[in-house]
Amino acid sequence: MAVHTGGLSARISKRRTGRPASPDGDARTAFWLMAPALGLYAVFTLLPIAATFWLSFNSSAGFNTSASFAGFGNYAKAAQDPIVWKSLVHTFIWLAYHVVMAGGLGLLLALAVSRLRITQVFFRTAFFLPHLVSLAVVGVIWANIYDPFFGLLNTALTRIGLGAFTQGWLSDPALVLFSVNVASSWQGFGLYMLLFIAGLQNIDRSLYDAAEVDGANSFQKLIYVTLPGLREIMTFVVSLAMINGLKGFATVFVMTNGGPFYQSELITTYIYRLAFQSQDHGLAAVLCILLSLLAIAITIVFNRWRARLSQ
């Protein structure tokens, strides 16, 4: 018995291709697919931002007290607080230290490791490992290294006959900010080293060949070929190092808690002190906004710098 399916196939084909998809239907589908992510973004990003702005215009003496409208009073208080200005200056010094120490060490190690052949993978891995350690753990490790009586640093200086150089690294107001930043830079230099190595691998080898033909020595090739070839990656590393430097709260909090006498106080540690110890949520919110504006300004400046270099 013959079965005729031509009419059925035609009707099915007509159903599939007879009406185009509705743009409104596609938009609704896309919205519902994005709705969970948008909801999470609103709850965990937009809502805290809005709450921070609201708090900055209100005064509150604690979590269990009602807030009262303060207008720009918290902003005026921030402008008159000497610790705010001191912590802001320390933050800029901290950023400069981190860029120079972590970024500079990353560049030097990248230049050295990139010349290796057999052991390059080993050293790249070894130098990157500290970056996998959390900043809080790094703070504990280096606090023990800096211990004035039993720490590794002072003990080593004494053993090699340099006992006169032993210091209270975390108790000396003149040394504490630098000492803590050494710990933070130790945690971060491995990432910058890998970025510089990637940049070195992208430099055209023919430029080095041309420099050799012109009689350039190793130092001249570094100055006229390598460093210019790393301009864009340098800009990216500097901007990344400054953004990462703003995250120095954990290391400072664990090692010194901003002391001694506020000499290692950063804007982030002062925010914590105001919000959770002094219960001054309004002033803490103002400093959060200031910190966010600082991060945005750094990002804009370095993005424009990168754009100019790429032209």
90 closest CA partner among 283, 259, 241: 259
The pLDDT, as a whole number, for residue 14 is 46
CATH number of the structural domain spanning residue 216: 1.10.3720.10
pLDDT band at 1 (very low <50, low <70, confident <90, very high): very low
- Give me the domain span that covers residue 138: 74-310
Ramachandran sector of residue 62 (left: φ over 0; alpha: ψ -120 to 50; beta: rest)? left
The closest alpha carbon to 99, from 267, 248, 287, 216, belongs to: 248
DSSP the chain: -----HHHHHHHHHHHHSSPPPHHHHHHHHHHHHHHHHHHHIIIIIHHHHHHHHHHTEE-SSTTS--EE-TTHHHHHHHH-HHHHHHHHHHHHHHHHHIIIIIHHHHHHHHHHTT-SSSHHHHHHHHHGGGGS-HHHHHHHHHHHT-TTT-HHHHHHHHTT-GGG---TTT-TTTHHHHHHHHHHHHHHHHHHHHHHHHHHTS-HHHHHHHHHTT--HHHHIIIIIHHHTHHHHHHHHHHHHHHHTTTHHHHHHHTTT-STTTT--HHHHHHIIIIIS--HHHHHHHHHHHHHHHHHHHHHHHHHHHHHH-
Q: For residue 58, what pLDDT band results from cuts at 50, 70 and 90? A: confident
Identify whether 80 is part of a domain. yes
Q: Is 3 part of a structural domain of the chain?
A: no
Q: For position 66, what pLDDT does the model report?
A: 66
What is the Cα–Cα distance from 297 to 293, expressed in whole angstroms?
6
Q: Is residue 114 a part of any domain in this protein?
A: yes
Asked if 190 contacts 127 with a C-beta cutoff of 8 angstroms, the reply is yes
pTM above 0.85, yes or no: no
pLDDT tens track for 273-295: 988 888 888 888 999 999 889 88
Report angle CA 136, 238, 222 to the nearest 5 degrees: 120
**Nearest one of 136, 128, 126 to 184, comparing CA atoms:** 136
Nearest 5°: the CA angle 285, 288, 289 is: 90
> What per-residue confidence (pLDDT) applies to 197?
94
| Residue 188, domain member (yes or no) | yes
For residue 281, what are the CA distances in angstroms to 23, 223, 247, 262, 288? 47, 51, 20, 20, 10
Residue 282 confidence (pLDDT): 87
Q: Is the pLDDT of residue 8 over 50?
A: no
The phi and psi torsions of 59 (rounded to 5 degrees) equal -115, 140
Q: Tell me whether residue 48 is in a domain.
A: no
Which two three-digit tokens encode residue 304? 């424009």
pLDDT at 131 over 80: yes
Calculate the average pLDDT of the chain: 85
The pLDDT of residue 83 is 93
The pLDDT tens digits of the residues spanning 174-230 come to: 999 999 999 999 999 999 999 999 999 998 888 888 888 888 888 888 899 899 889
Single out the residue of 264, 262, 291, 260 nearest to residue 283, CA to CA: 291
Compute the average pLDDT of residues 263-267.
Answer: 92
Q: What's the rounded Cα separation, in Å, for the pair 271 and 277?
A: 10
Q: Is residue 10 part of a domain?
A: no
Backbone phi and psi for residue 68, each to the nearest 5 degrees, phi listed first: -120, 145
Is there a contact between 287 and 270 (Cβ–Cβ < 8 Å)?
yes
Instruction: Tell whether 50 is covered by a domain.
Output: no
Q: In this predicted model, what pLDDT tens digit does every residue of 62-83 receive, in sequence order? A: 555 666 777 788 889 889 999 9
Task: Identify the bridge partners of residue 58 per DSSP, sorted by sequence position.
Answer: 69
pLDDT of residue 24: 63
Q: What total of structural domains would you count in the chain?
A: 1
Whether 306 is in a domain gets the answer yes
